[in-house]
Amino acid sequence: MLTRRLLLEHLGRAGGTAATASAMQALGLFGSTAALAAMPDTPQDFGTGKSVVVLGAGISGLVTAYELEQRGYDVTVLEARQRVGGRAWTIRDGDTLEMIGEAPQTARFSPGNYFNAGPARLPSFHQNILGYARKFKVPLEVEVNSSRSAYVVANDGSKLRMRTAINDTRGHIAELLAKAVHQGALDTAISAEDKAKLLPFLTVYGDLEDNFAFAGTTRSGFGTPPGAGVGTMETPAAPRPLSELLGNEQLPFSLFEDNMFMQATMFQPVGGMDQVSVGIERNLRRRALRGAEVQRIRHDPAGVTITYVDRASAGARTLRADYCVCTIPFPVLASIDADFPAPVASAIAGVVYDHSNKVAFDAPRFWEREQIYGGISFVGGETALIWYPSWGLHGERGTILGCYSSGDMGEKFARRPIPEQIAMARAMIDKTHPGHGADCINPIAINWTKVPYSLGPWPAWNKTNGGPNEGHNDTAPYRLLNQPVGRIVFASAALSQIPGWQEGGIMSAHAAVAAIVAQTRDRAPAEPLRRAS
């Protein structure tokens, strides 16, 4: 007998994931497309009598649960961990970090200090997560994402203040462009009228002399700082030669804050990034069921059956619901016994996740004595950067990151033993701030590919062609997993155009809610009411 499953398996073998999508839609295994759906406008009792089980209490799962509850659905959230937030994990003093294949690490931080092991900043244009923080009264504070007092560190150990790298480079480029204009090199590219306007602009842009030469600028720092009384006027520092600037391998990171996602000033919840997730869960009618590890997923035309293990008692339990929203990370989901159609199972198993690592230390605030209050120094290599805390300014101690790496360098770093990772991070801090590596104590290192129930930070959808992850996700598996499979809907930041950001998780959650509402409408009024059991 040629069942739907066998038909889809044959289609998958013949044409791959993309070839089966339209067939699955026709066979009723897909509901309406979820990816771009708007939040539905429904009565508060719209979902009354309908049950939904949400797998995972990260930001996607919590938002999905909240929004479905607001529409009258009976929602049960299952979470394998003993905490909510997923990747939004704030590690505090006394917390234990466990990773697959590694010895447990216990955090030892000074009072008030903590470590955002996952996301640590919120851009101003991520209005969904900022909106939930406002709605649930989660206090925010400014996160200093870029400090021009921080450094770009060349491979040979030489370093430049960010302000020097930015403004000296700008001055040299402005001088070169002004020379080109004077020499007529741009006469065919620019009108005489615009040429007359360009030169005064370049003078201001590069802080040039009257003869359009760049002789240094106080934007880059002081040669002599201003003082009191006569004869203590400021002077600019001597400009760094263009060859020195271009020779610093980290110079491109002077453009860091120009990236829309990496604004100079961003936001963070007071006390740790997990506070947004905690605030959302606090407003659920039914809190997430913790320690519930999903073992089996089954779906049929009438509903969804989830089997999970209560980790505290080791007892297996079964939950039946009308619908399921699955936010389990794909590397974890791939190992769960599920009856997804073969093309969907193949797509799930084939999602490649990136690497992401952080190493944090407790330390006296020596960086503040170098005028660094928050922000990032870019150091390159496997450790990539040094990240300074934006909270607790002028306190005795703070949490400093000696590594935040991803991609190929992050993969290489994660293969090293944890003690070696810590030593490399401390050494880079000492290279950038001589004599202070030894001040960095009580280290804790995280490699997200080793974290249980995550197994990675975000998908590298475009890894094979070296493309970016933000705004360019349109592979066949990505499209397939953005579709419901019968009564099961997938949701997570992984299924957004910004898979590394919580905002993406919220947008995907909104799309999942829209998909559940659409299916409920399509099946009404013939379907009887049923609560989760």
Element (H, E) at 500: none
Show which of 402, 426, 450 is a domain's final residue.
450
Q: What residues are paired with 513 via a beta bridge?
A: none
Element (H, E) at 315: strand 315-321
**Are 33 and 107 in a shared domain?**
no
- Does residue 252 sit within a domain? no
In a 3-state reduction of DSSP, which class is residue 337? strand
- Across the chain, which distance is largest between two alpha carbons, in Å? 98
CA distance linking residue 298 with residue 316, whole number of Å: 15
State yes or no: pLDDT of 172 exceeds 70.
Answer: yes
State yes or no: pLDDT of 250 exceeds 50.
Answer: yes
Instruction: Give 445-496 pLDDT, tens digit per residue.
Output: 999 999 999 999 999 998 765 666 777 899 999 999 999 999 999 999 999 9
**Are 108 and 243 in a shared domain?**
no
CA distance linking residue 289 with residue 276, whole number of Å: 18
In this prediction, residue 236 carries a pLDDT of: 87
**Are 379 and 436 in a shared domain?**
yes
- Single out the residue of 75, 128, 63, 125 nearest to residue 279, CA to CA: 63
DSSP notation for 237-259: PPPPPHHHHHH-TTGGGGGGGGS
**Are 174 and 142 in a shared domain?**
no
In this prediction, residue 187 carries a pLDDT of: 87
What's the structural domain count of the chain? 3
**Are 102 and 134 in a shared domain?**
yes
Contact 385, 357 (CB under 8 A): no
- What does the pLDDT average to over 399-417? 97
In this prediction, residue 340 carries a pLDDT of: 98
CA distance linking residue 324 with residue 306, whole number of Å: 9
CA distance linking residue 160 with residue 207, whole number of Å: 19
**Are 362 and 267 in a shared domain?**
yes
In this prediction, residue 314 carries a pLDDT of: 87
CA distance linking residue 71 with residue 166, whole number of Å: 51
**Are 140 and 168 in a shared domain?**
no
Residues shown for the chain: 533
Number of C-beta neighbours around residue 43 at 10 A: 9
CA distance linking residue 358 with residue 405, whole number of Å: 7
**Are 37 and 105 in a shared domain?**
no
- Does residue 457 sit within a domain? no
Range of the domain at 442: 90-150+262-274+354-450
Instruction: Give 310-358 pLDDT, tens digit per residue.
Output: 998 989 999 999 999 999 999 999 999 999 999 999 999 999 999 999 9
- Does residue 299 sit within a domain? no
Q: What is the CATH number of the domain that holds 142?
A: 3.90.660.10
Contact 312, 319 (CB under 8 A): no
In this prediction, residue 12 carries a pLDDT of: 41
Rounded to the nearest 5 degrees, what angle is found at the Cα of 220, between the Cα atoms of 214 and 222?
105
Quickly state the pLDDT bin for 223 (edges 50, 70, 90). confident
- What does the pLDDT average to over 8-28? 41
C-alpha pair distances (Å), 53 with each of 29, 62, 294, 298, 490: 19, 11, 11, 12, 12
Q: What is the CATH number of the domain that holds 493?
A: 3.50.50.60
The first and second tokens of residue 499, run together, are: 């898979």
The first and second tokens of residue 216, run together, are: 């240094």
- Does residue 470 sit within a domain? no
Quickly state the pLDDT bin for 38 (edges 50, 70, 90). low
Instruction: Give 368-397 pLDDT, tens digit per residue.
Output: 999 999 999 999 999 999 999 999 999 999
CA distance linking residue 280 with residue 284, whole number of Å: 7
- CA dihedral (313, 491, 64, 288) in degrees, to 10, reads 10
The first and second tokens of residue 166, run together, are: 């930015």
Instruction: Give 116-154 pLDDT, tens digit per residue.
Output: 999 999 999 999 999 999 999 999 999 999 999 999 999
Q: Which residue has the tokens 């493309």?
A: 467
In a 3-state reduction of DSSP, which class is residue 95? coil
- Does residue 112 sit within a domain? yes
Contact 485, 326 (CB under 8 A): no
In this prediction, residue 159 carries a pLDDT of: 96
**Are 446 and 360 in a shared domain?**
yes
The first and second tokens of residue 12, run together, are: 């998958």
Beta-sheet pairing, 303-310 with 315-321: antiparallel
- Does residue 293 sit within a domain? no
**Are 137 and 98 in a shared domain?**
yes
CA distance linking residue 117 with residue 298, whole number of Å: 33
In this prediction, residue 437 carries a pLDDT of: 98
- Single out the residue of 13, 335, 265 nearest to residue 124, CA to CA: 265
**Are 498 and 361 in a shared domain?**
no
Contact 356, 448 (CB under 8 A): yes
- Does residue 295 sit within a domain? no
- Single out the residue of 91, 446, 502 nearest to residue 327, CA to CA: 502
**Are 267 and 386 in a shared domain?**
yes
DSSP notation for 12-36: HHHHHHHHHHHHHHHTT---S--TT
- What does the pLDDT average to over 84-108? 98
Contact 181, 201 (CB under 8 A): no
Sequence-distant (6+) residues with CB within 8 A of 174 are 202, 203, 205, 206, 207, 208, 214
- Single out the residue of 323, 288, 279, 278 nearest to residue 57, CA to CA: 288
- Does residue 288 sit within a domain? no
CA distance linking residue 79 with residue 85, whole number of Å: 10
In this prediction, residue 175 carries a pLDDT of: 96
